[in-house]
Amino acid sequence: MSVKPRKKTRLYLIASVVVVLAAGGFWYYQQSTSKKAEDKPLLVKVDMGSIENTIAAAGTLKPRNYVDVGAQVSGQIKKLHVEIGDMVKEGQLLAEIDAQVQQTKVEGDRAAVEALMAQVDGRKVALQVAQVNADRQTRLRDANAASQVDYDTAMNTLASAKSSLDQLMKQIDQSQATLKSDEQQLGYANIYAPVSGTVVSISLLEGTTLNAVQMAPTVLRIADLSTMTVEADISEADISNIKPGMTVYFTTLGGGDRRWYSKVRQIWPTPNVTNNVVLYTGLFDVDNADSSLYQEMTAQVYFVTASAQNVITVPVGALKFNRGGRGPGGGAPQFAGAAGGPAATGSAPAGAAGPPAGFTPQAAGGQGQGQNGAGAPPSRRGAGNGRPTGQGSGGFAGMASTAPRPATVVVMKNDGTREERQVMVGVQSRVAAEVISGLSVGEEVVAGIIQANAAAAGGNQQQNRPGGFPGGFPGGGFPGGRF
């Protein structure tokens, strides 16, 4: 009778121990999980790189020089001697027009001239006879052997003969001029190349009937493709920051990473207005000696307002700017240094979402120059016109300033301690900035905070984001996909 209570007591004790161990294990798990879920600083190593600040625009490639070749006579195109893409020389025969009407007219003009020339000898003989008769009547009148009436008649006949001959000669001149004009028109039946270049389009084919009475119809176009012109559409928010002589480059859809450099040649003062969108046209030329550019290509144009090559760079997220450049503690920062921090005071790119929690942009690496076309890349420190706050192609406040200005960064030392340090910042892009002084290559700076919850929930997703830029911008969303 006493054995059963002992067994029950022992079972109760074992169950109590199991419950206590389970509760302790659960408590330990919760403590260890909370420790792992702490926020961590995002450390970025200071490195050398290249930065450029640009104004983006869309453009179209056009030939620098071209000529529309038209027909000056009516008729049917009998023969085309060229095709699209052919290289032609100045004076080369391009097309022939069947101009039978002009040929017939020329033959009639020649016959009319010959008919008038046949009358010249008769008029000259009549003039000689009238001159002889006038001389005889003059002598008879002087000898009082002829009447005054006979003398006057002889003088009138002489004057009429001279006038008739002169009139005939003028008619001949007129007919010869008409013949010359018609012969020239007949010569237009053969169309020759006015300049050397490439046949880029043919508007009319063999067998087409031309009517050149009111206007000269265009048969084909010849363009000089050795030099191309880019017509860039510039928004009215950016046009005040673009000047002739500014460095500009562009890429094409099929050109890969290749950049063609040039200088702004001209800005048209009259804009194109479509649906209340005001766009100005900027022109610049580029050498096309390798024939890699074609007309009507789409160009992604970047006007370089400021650049710095092979300089010390840090992410914008690592910098804390102070209003008015008063140094640390002098005012609210203009850029958010970490996730969850204050928003940028400038206008963000249109339609762009804010950065996700726990994400801070990485430092921009050095840019390769690609294969250069005409012109040369910007110098190490190229300064352009600053862009106004919140204006332009998705710019942030103060991002285009090239004048050195103070900022503060948090440097992570080797012993794990943090040091707030003042630096001087030069050229700045959307994600990186040039550090003129205050930092050395190899040091680590705090560029933001990796939030534990966000990292645990979607860290892998953020790492797989194309380009790794805030707000879902892929690498190609900014100039050339690089900074």
CATH number of residue 200's parent domain: 2.40.50.100
Q: So what's the pLDDT on residue 90?
A: 92
Which pLDDT tens digit goes with each residue over 58-86? 999 999 999 999 888 888 888 999 999 89
Task: State the residue range of the domain holding 372.
Answer: 42-62+228-481
State residue 385's pLDDT score: 38
Residue 54 sits in the same domain as residue 109: no
> What pLDDT score does 182 carry?
86
Q: Give the full edge-to-edge strand order of the sheet including 93-98.
A: 190-192, 93-98, 75-80, 209-210
- Tell me, yes or no, whether 33 lies in a domain: no
Low-confidence ranges of the chain (pLDDT < 50): 1, 325-401, 455, 459-483
* Within-domain flag for 30: no
pLDDT at 269: 93
Task: Say which residues have a Cβ less than 8 Å from residue 187's Cβ, sequence separation at least 6.
Answer: none
Q: Are residues 182 and 321 in the same domain?
A: no
Rounded Cα distance between 455 and 450, Å, is 7
Question: Are 195 and 272 part of one and the same domain?
Answer: no
Tell me, yes or no, whether 319 lies in a domain.
Answer: yes
Half-sphere exposure of 273 (CA within 13 A, CB side): 3
Number of domains in the chain: 3
pLDDT of residue 4: 59
- Do 153 and 264 share a domain, yes or no? no
Q: Find the helix or strand (DSSP H, E) in which 418 lies.
A: strand 418-428
Same domain assignment for residues 178 and 192: no
Note whether 365 and 301 are same-domain residues: yes
Residues 317, 424 share a domain = yes
Closest-CA residue to 317 (of 347, 348, 350, 339): 339
**Do 170 and 79 fall into the same domain?**
no
In a domain, 303, yes or no: yes
Judged by DSSP in three states, 103 sits in: helix
Quote the CA–CA distance of 152 and 162 in Å, as a whole number.
16
> Does 24 map to a domain?
no
Provide the pLDDT for residue 323.
Answer: 64
* Cβ atoms 462, 58 nearer than 8 A: no
Q: Are 129 and 202 in contact (CB under 8 A)?
A: no
| Contact in structure between 441 and 411 (CB atoms under 8 Å) | no
Q: Where are the alpha helices (DSSP H) in 55-147?
A: 100-142
Burial 189-201 (b: 16+ CB within 10 A, else e): bbbebeeebbbbe
pLDDT at 324: 52
**Distance, C-alpha 47 to centroid of its chain:** 33
Domain end: 178, 207, 236, which one?
207
Assign residue 438 the CATH number of its domain: 2.40.30.170
Query: How high is the pLDDT of residue 150?
Result: 84
The backbone region for 327, taken as left when phi is positive above 0, alpha when psi lies in -120 to 50, beta otherwise, is left
Does 431 reside within a domain?
yes
**pTM for the full predicted model:** 0.59
Is there a domain that residue 432 lies in?
yes
Residue 1 lies in a domain: no
Backbone φ, ψ for residue 406 (5° rounding): -80, 155
Does residue 264 share a domain with residue 374? yes
